[in-house]
Amino acid sequence: VPCVYLLAQEMFERKEVALTSAFFAAVSPLAIVFSSEALSSSLLVLLATLTFYYFYRCLRATRRSRLISLGVSTVLMLYTNY
């Protein structure tokens, strides 16, 4: 939920939109099912959200630290699923 808030805050630059997005992520039935399972699905969703967040930040301004963060989160996401 905090990652969804950060992503919405970065994309729309409005606190109301970020809070609404975080609320819908918190009450999403799919997220609730993922959190109740003992699989890597919830970690995959977290890392996919972080990957998209870093990707969006790289699109806005490409810096070395952002590219490294994007690479690390992408590799972790891919290794989590396999």
- Dump pLDDT digits (tens) for 12-54: 999 999 999 999 999 998 878 777 776 777 788 889 999 999 9
Tell me the pTM.
Answer: 0.78
Residue 54 confidence (pLDDT): 95
| Segment 61-79, tens digit of pLDDT | 989 999 999 999 999 999 9
Two tokens, residue 79: 């290794």
- CA 80 to CA 27: how far, in whole Å? 24
- CA 58 to CA 67: how far, in whole Å? 7
Q: Which of 22, 76, 25 lies closest to 47 in space, CA to CA? A: 76
**Torsions phi, psi of 27, nearest 5?**
-105, 10
- CA 53 to CA 22: how far, in whole Å? 14
Residue 81 confidence (pLDDT): 74
